[in-house]
Amino acid sequence: MSIVFRLLGHLPLSALHVLGCCFGWLAWLFSPTYRRHLRENMQLALGASEAARLRGAAIGEAGKQMLELPRIWLRPLAETAARVVSVSGWELVEAATRRGKGILYLTPHLGCFEVTAQYLSTRAPITVLYRQPKQAWLQAMVEAGRAREQLHLASADVAGVRTLLKALRRGEAVGMLPDQAPRAGEGRWLDFFGKPAYTMTLAARLADSGAAVIMVWAERLPGGAGYHFRLQEPRRPIRGTLEERAQQINHEIEDLIRQCPQQYLWGYNRYKQRRSSQPPGALAEKDDG
């Protein structure tokens, strides 16, 4: 598998996106669980008619997201960063840098989320939260592809949290996927598109550190033309109790997704129920991914 992955890394982005679209439809056809998650999540967030209209595009975009990874991870950083062909909102980074209290970048599973930290690392040091994949070959590939000169990895454990806090205290940037389902005991059941979702609290804790919070995502452009890097402030400051801050971050993620819903990873089981953690009054279903 690693050989195939490396071979794909030599293909142009346009070809990878064509192959990725086909791969997305194969995953749709052969995985009933994936079909169920994608259908249910899209309909919940967008409504039946809009979900039906965008479903085909979402299936293709999810496949593109998978097959563009070799190109992002295995090519030189300068080449990867060059695929970002336009940037909106960079003045937010400049203002936050002048404050000197660090930056918390929140990037949901939207667009090409793997290119965000890579691009940001060409401007300044950044430490990103990292959860090891289950496959050993993929773990080696991920670590090699993400560990750029100014891109540092922090494991998703207590030691990793300390690493993130130290980076913020130095006035540096940290980044994470705030819509990733946390392990049991590490989150709260909060609203996400009108349904309880087990939500990480780490992003909300770091938002209370004094760091500037910036929402960021990379829109995938048609025809393999590259990415439009988009940064924006939360609609209102992330304040209140821990639960209120985490809930607001969920709503900020919803706002980003509505900007380009076809590029969100709807097949991800955002509403998974951990065996030892479930919404009040609900029976925990099997964690199927």
Tell me the pLDDT tens digit for each residue of 13-56: 999 999 999 999 999 999 999 999 999 999 999 999 999 999 99
Q: Please check whether residue 8 lies inside any domain of the structure.
A: no
Q: Report which DSSP code applies to 274.
A: -
For 38, counting Cβ atoms within 10 Å of its Cβ (0-12 exposed, 13-18 middle, 19+ buried), the class is buried
Tokens of 28: 């749709």
Q: Please check whether residue 246 lies inside any domain of the structure.
A: yes
Tokens of 1: 């598998």
272 has a pLDDT exceeding 90: no
Q: Please check whether residue 21 lies inside any domain of the structure.
A: no
Q: Please check whether residue 223 lies inside any domain of the structure.
A: yes
81 pLDDT tier (thresholds 50, 70, 90): very high
Q: How many Å apart are CA 199 and CA 196, to the nearest integer?
A: 9
Q: Please check whether residue 273 lies inside any domain of the structure.
A: no
| Domain that includes residue 141, residue range | 84-263
Q: Phi then psi for 117, rounded to 5 degrees?
A: -65, -35
Tokens of 63: 């496949």
285 has a pLDDT exceeding 50: no
Q: Please check whether residue 30 lies inside any domain of the structure.
A: no
Distance (Å) of CA 98 to CA 91, 111, 136, 260: 11, 29, 41, 31
Q: Please check whether residue 233 lies inside any domain of the structure.
A: yes
Q: What is the CATH number of the domain that holds 193?
A: 3.40.1130.10
- Classified as helix, coil or strand, 254 is helix
The pLDDT value recorded for residue 80 is 93
Q: Please check whether residue 126 lies inside any domain of the structure.
A: yes
The pLDDT value recorded for residue 150 is 92
- Quick check: pTM over 0.85? yes
Total count of domains within the chain: 1
